[in-house]
Amino acid sequence: MHAETLLRIDRDHLIHPVSAWRDHEEAGARILRSGKGAWLTDIHGKELLDGFSGLWCVNAGYGCQSVVEAATEQMARLPYATGYFGYASEAAIELAGRLAAKAPGNLNRIFFCQGGSDAVDSVLRFIRFFQHARGTPQKRHVIGLAKGYHGSTYAGSGLTALAAFHRDADVPLSWQHHIPSPYPYRHEGDGQDSTIIADSVAALQQKVAEVGAANVAAFFCEPVQGSGGVIVPPRGWLAAMRRACTELGILFVADEVITGFGRTGPLFACETEQVVPDMMTVAKGLTSGYAPMGAVFMSDEVYETVRDNTPPGVPIGHGMTYSAHPVSAAIGLAVLDLYEGGLLANGVAAGRHLASRLTTLSEHPFVGDVRISGMLAGIELVTDKTSRRKPDPSLGLSKKLAALGYRDGLLFRAFADDVIGLAPPLCCSIEEIDLMCDRLTRIIHEIA
């Protein structure tokens, strides 16, 4: 179809996720046609180096033939199998087995869904089943972080604490609460790791006391907060929060939708601090974006409590037509082969190089903070390094940055006018990381 026709139909008919509808109609879409490795090509033939892995999901890069073949084979042989009524597909069973073997601790039970949002929503429902099963149904309140992102379903968007997801949406719900995020660069105390960790633990304890320990079910967090501005907590924070949850008698839920599957180095970010959550959500890198799929990892204890307290013949009422879709599962298996066959190791090496290149940006007068965890990076811009003043929103910096990135053939994310996010595919070569950093450095020099 001709570019002009596509632009017109897009403007007239396609509603884009999390977009300013008026602005989108005015600006029009940037329409992508193909991809290979870390590179995308748009409908005008312009080549773009993808520094954001689509939406931090295409960890394996584009055009992986083994993944395409696995999907094609599954689609030709059995495109769909329900998980209802006791049926299952071979691919879904195999994937669940392989993931359970790789998962932290006793997260041996896996529920597949379609993405990160419904993984979070599923956890919220599983929490209800769990609390009813153990005879504590009043434990219904959940606590998240003030810069957390947990998807866009009705309940998940309330647990998400970003203003854009709350505006005119009547969330958070009455049982959803937030405590301050660990944010080393903007910590109001002395900024020491130990203080930041102690402050988070104290904030959680205080919130639980405020809501009443008998009423709180769970604490949710991302090991690295992604959409809140790529905020990396101090080493030890995750383990301290896990311990605090155990002491407070509440579930610890790790949302690894971004951090899972090598984004921060290991297969799961929880591994870095030997943390075993009670439940864990994943999506994105699970299929590397080749098809929609999310998953909930559930501990044996949670699973068994629900199982053992539900009478035989009574179904646990949660599931979707596309739970454990066999094509997505076949893709998940092929992608897992790639992670195990060198992709994770390549991501670790490329991440080290990314860190060494990006830290030099700290010297720029308008770069306040550079934070990196594996192949996940945030660069926080300020107009004054001493006062750490944020850029004036009227400058429209994120729009300008996105336009310059497109002009220079680099995709990255510009958050809320002051943070640039990078999440390159794990398959990137050192030369591609260099090119990405060269282009980004030029853009930052141009706007500042």
The residues of the shown chain that bind ligand PLP, judged by CB under 6 A, are 115-117, 120, 149-151, 222, 226-227, 255, 257-258, 283
What is the rounded CA–CA span in Å between residue 372 and residue 377? Answer: 4
Question: Closer to ligand PLP at the Cβ: 37 or 228?
Answer: 228
Structure-block tokens of residue 135: 């005879």
Are 331 and 67 in contact by the 8 Å Cβ rule? The answer is yes
What is the rounded CA–CA span in Å between residue 15 and residue 24? Answer: 9
Question: Cα 43–45–46 angle (5° rounding)?
Answer: 105
Question: Closer to ligand PLP at the Cβ: 155 or 283?
Answer: 283
Distance (Å) of CA 177 to CA 144, 171, 212, 240: 6, 11, 12, 19
What is the rounded CA–CA span in Å between residue 430 and residue 356? Answer: 11
Helix (H) or strand (E) holding 367: strand 367-372
Structure-block tokens of residue 127: 């929490």
Count Cβ atoms below 10 Å from residue 90 Cβ, excluding itself: 15
Shortest distance, position 308 Cβ to ligand PLP, whole Å: 30
- The dihedral built from the CA positions of residue 318, 321, 326 and 329, taken in this order, carries a sign that is negative
- The dihedral built from the CA positions of residue 234, 238, 239 and 242, taken in this order, carries a sign that is positive
Structure-block tokens of residue 50: 């993808």
What is the rounded CA–CA span in Å between residue 80 and residue 32? Answer: 28
- In the chain, count H helices and then E strands: 15, 15
What is the rounded CA–CA span in Å between residue 255 and residue 284? Answer: 12
Distance (Å) of CA 348 to CA 352, 415, 428, 429: 6, 25, 11, 11
Are 158 and 124 in contact by the 8 Å Cβ rule? The answer is no
Phi and psi, residue 39, nearest 5°: -115, 140
> Which residue's CB comes closest to ligand PLP?
116
Which residues have CB under 8 Å from 431's CB, separation 6+? none
DSSP 8-state secondary structure symbol assigned to residue 206: H
